[in-house]
Amino acid sequence: MKVYNTLTRKKEEFIPIEPGKVKMYSCGPTVYNFFHIGNARPFIVFDVLRRYLEYRGMEVTFVQNFTDIDDKVIKKANEEGVTYDVIADRYIKEYFTDAGGLGIHPATVHPRATENIGEIIDIISGLVEKGYAYQSGGDVYYRTRAFKEYGKLSHQPLEELEAGARIDVSEHKEDPMDFALWKAAKPGEPSWDSPWGKGRPGWHIECSAMARRYLGETIDIHSGGIDLCFPHHENEIAQSEALSGKPFAHYWMHNAFLNIDNQKMSKSLGNFFTVREAAESYGYDAIRFFMLSAHYRSPLNYSREQLEQARAGLSRIYSALDNLRFLQQNAAAGEMTEDERQSTQTFDGWRSKFCEAMDDDLNTADAVSVIFELVRAVNTVAARPDVTAAYAQAALAILSELCGVLGIEKPEEQGADDSEIEALIEQRQTARKNRDFKEADRIRDELKARGIVLEDTPQGVKWHRA
Ligand code: AMP
Ligand code: ZN
């Protein structure tokens, strides 16, 4: 598999440190609010990367943190008159609700910054000892100029980064480009004991600490949105590599922005939709499918039309899957026909095409096209009156396999009781057999009122939700 590495600005063959094992770290959300569709993009994209690596037989250890202490969390807590952890707990819970809805598998570990204060202090102490960090008042800063490779991820020298950055000037810093590793406690803010007095960690240090604790000094893949490249990831590299003297991550992967009206969706601009809101309109599965319709390094524009298109695309896939499931139960038993056998002989080819797309820097857009082509091919064979259950089963297996890699799964229809609907369909069949057409029509109308559409096929009655 080839992946685009921001560090080298090239597509490179992905070679894990230890064959068959992958260590992956992705920057997670700051938990002070529901997450928006822009935030959902890295969560979905890197969930797909993880699923694909696992599909290709690798064992993936995936760490995604929760930033549970920062200015925004504290502000929200103060507004509500509660402690920071009440806010963090609430939005971590909401994260799992939305992430679950989006079909994002839980990471191997979801550590919180505040559970890793010991590790953070340990790293800062090491940096101070080595001369990469200094105490100033109750703060500790990273001495950016001491790390000669600073800027290697952004491919810009320190001077240019400095000119372009909005720098937090402080009289405590030796240099405007230095950044806080530890912040002295302020009144009304949560704080922890440290060798520099009471305080709390800066943002960048938490990822260096959690990556080291859960994955080790050198990891395979570090990922996040492109906005994190500078300064966050640049600072993570400076912290981790200055301390260990080893490369921090071999591959740096960044997703492009999710835009709205061609502007980055962000909380600070106020132009965002939460995943929760969008899911109410289109369904979680359509949001996921929409994200996969573009390559992760291409900007993606959020619009009603795009989401509706995703919904329609998903319906095509779902109805193919439903149809195959139905035929598997109800179509003719016995050997496949010659046409069917020929069709199944093309399945390996579809799988290879799918993998070829995914191997090319996770080209989910092309992988989705392969699924649509497969759906079309399978639908044609499955529409024949002599279709066999054996064919349906084989087609269902390949289609489910490829959909599963992307996490395309029909959500459980909540509140629906399928057995009750099937019982009503049975009753209608009996009524028809007894030529009680009035009763049969009554049941059909009742089902219709419940949003159930019936279809008579050579293999029996099929139903779906409208
Ligand atoms: P945050 O909670 O702001 O730290 O963001 C969590 C993740 O979402 C990070 O990986 C960000 O890079 C990413 N992110 C935020 N906004 C967008 C956006 N509009 N498009 C794509 N990724 C984004
Ligand atoms: Zn991070």
| Closest approach atom of ligand 1 to CA 223 | 10
| Global confidence as pTM | 0.92
**Angle, CA 208 vertex, CA 202 and CA 213 arms, to 5°:** 120
| Closest approach atom of ligand 1 to CA 228 | 12
Identify whether the C-beta of residue 227 lies closer than 8 Å to the C-beta of residue 265: no
Cα dist from 255 to 52, 83, 227, 268, 447, whole Å: 17, 33, 9, 19, 45
The label of the residue with tokens 């009655």 reads 461
Q: Kindly give the distance from the C-alpha atom of residue 449 to the centroid of ligand 2, in angstroms, as a whole number.
A: 50
SS3 258: strand
- Tell me the ligand closest to 262's alpha carbon: 1
Q: How far is CA 288 from the centre of its chain?
A: 8
Q: Kindly give the distance from the C-alpha atom of residue 31 to the centroid of ligand 1, in angstroms, as a whole number.
A: 12
Here the tokens at position 125 are: 């102490």
Q: Cβ-count burial of 207 within 10 angstroms (0-12 exposed, 13-18 middle, 19+ buried)?
A: buried
Identify whether the C-beta of residue 388 lies closer than 8 Å to the C-beta of residue 324: no
**355 labelled binding-site residue:** no
pLDDT tens across 220-259, in order? 999 999 999 999 999 999 999 999 999 999 999 999 999 9
pLDDT tens across 412-443, in order? 655 556 788 888 898 999 999 999 999 999 99
| Closest approach atom of ligand 1 to CA 257 | 20
Least confident of 15-19, 267-271, 385-389: 267-271
- Percentage of residues in the chain having pLDDT higher than 70: 97
Kindly report whether the peptide bond that precedes residue 231 is cis, defined as omega within 30 degrees of 0. Answer: yes
SS3 12: strand
Within 6 Å (CB) of ligand 1, which residues are found? 27, 29-30, 38-39, 41-42, 224-225, 227-228, 255, 257-258, 264-266
Here the tokens at position 124 are: 């800062």
Which residue owns the Cα nearest ligand 1 atom 14? Answer: 39
**27 labelled binding-site residue:** yes
Paired strand residues for 251: 221
pLDDT tens across 341-379, in order? 999 999 999 999 999 999 999 999 999 999 999 999 999
